[in-house]
Structure 1
Amino acid sequence: MPPSSDLPIPTASKSEWRAWAREVRAALPDQSQALTAHLAAFLHLHRARRVLAYRALPGEPDVSALAGQFELLAPRARWKPEPHLTLHAWETATELSRFGALQPPASAPRVLLGSVDAVLLPALTFDEQGVRLGYGGGFYDRLLPGFTGLTVGVVWADLIVPTLPTEAHDVRGQWLATELGVRTTRTTTPPIRYS
């Protein structure tokens, strides 16, 4: 973890935390291969088959290597009537979203969330309790209330902080996957190495 003096103060706004996370992330090496190895072992252990993943933005861990081992789904951001995500087959993600990541086109057949075993949550940063700080659209917060499968935050280890600002509607990850391993957010135990 970066030195605590580099962290915004605990009462910092979400925009200050986002600026901090972008700056830290820009300086980190890509360790997607190590991260996906841990994540694959974890998902196999939990017998996950159908997994909602994400197409990585620059600087995010790239989880696309999981595609050969699991039935991956890709989200599409929709803006009307309110912002929400729809789920589609991974290979249909061929269109550039307004965020800059590949997403399925509007015409791609949809998959129901109830058929999903695990959701991989991208974020700028997470805290040790699984609080997620995304990009500000609230898409996963709208998608996941009531979801009973695994929710796994995917982030570089240096971007896990002690505490982030949170609101009642924020969805938390149950697990955090980093290049060092996968750990539960219920405790602050060291990462469990699944590979």
Structure 2
Amino acid sequence: MTLPPHDAPKPTWRAWAREVRARQPDRSAEVCASLAAFLQARGARRVLAYHALPGEPDVGILAAEFELLTTRARFRPTPHLTLHPWDAAMEVSRFGVRQPPADAPRVALETVDAVLLPGLAFDRFGVRLGYGGGFYDRLLPAFSGLTVGVVWEALVVDALPTEPHDLRVGFLATEGGVRPLHP
């Protein structure tokens, strides 16, 4: 599929990214090896991660080296994410991802050293193309720790459409390694 023009609407970019992602081999082990070295070098211990959807790099192996946390999507009073221990994720959410039950113990974002963010695509400025719910955009504006986008190299583009509320990450992890971004 041809790369959309920069000013194409986000749904067009999402369709492109899903098609490209479907053709990528699973190189999660390579992504995780680079991430582990990167996080250890920066002293990260408590890491907010994600349970991978089909086609996403799977970062679950990092649970052997770090205290991983995961999220639960909540919709009332407004859509938001809560943080929980990694192993509490026993349910399947409406988005098809494993998440903790509603009554699982919560963890404060202020105790997190690093956040690993999934995305359909990222650009070289750290702009993330998410799935359209805005959950991470609402969770992380005041977060001062490490933010790392995790994606296949084929889904890193020069520029994505962006809106003022869109989250930018400081680093990008792919099967090629972890690199800093300069928003």
Unaligned runs of 5+ in 1: 188-195
Partner of 2:152: 156
Matched, 1:102 2:98: yes
**Separation (CA, whole Å) in 2 of partners of 1:85 and 1:11:** 29
Could you report, residue by residue, the CA deviation over 1:116-141 in whole angstroms, capped at 9, with x for unpaired residues?
00000100000000000110000000
**Separation (CA, whole Å) in 2 of partners of 1:128 and 1:11:** 16
Could you report, residue by residue, the CA deviation over 1:103-157 in whole angstroms, capped at 9, with x for unpaired residues?
0000001000000000001000000000001100000000001100000000000
The two structures have a TM-score, normalised by structure 2, of: 0.98
Unaligned runs of 5+ in 2: none
Partner of 1:169: 165
Partner of 2:22: 26
Q: Secondary structure at the match of 1:183?
A: strand
Partner of 1:84: 80
The two structures have a TM-score, normalised by structure 1, of: 0.92
Letter in 2 for 1:77: A
Letter in 1 for 2:26: D
- When the two chains are superposed, the root-mean-square deviation of aligned CA atoms in Å is 1.0
Give 2:130's match in structure 1, choosing from 127, 131, 134: 134
Could you report, residue by residue, the CA deviation over 1:34-54 in whole angstroms, capped at 9, with x for unpaired residues?
000000000000100000000
Partner of 1:185: 181
Partner of 1:193: none
- The count of corresponding residues between Structure 1 and Structure 2 is 183
Give 1:12's match in structure 2, choosing from 8, 27, 41: 8
**Separation (CA, whole Å) in 1 of partners of 2:142 and 2:176:** 29
Give 1:40's match in structure 2, choosing from 31, 36, 40: 36
**1:82 to partner: Cα distance:** 1.0
Partner of 1:191: none
**1:6 to partner: Cα distance:** 1.8
Q: Secondary structure at the match of 2:149?
A: strand
- Spell out structure 1 runs of 4+ moving beyond 2 A: none
Could you report, residue by residue, the CA deviation over 1:173-192 in whole angstroms, capped at 9, with x for unpaired residues?
100000000001118xxxxx
**1:11 to partner: Cα distance:** 1.0
Q: How does 1:38-77 map to 2 (within 5 A)?
A: 38-77=34-73
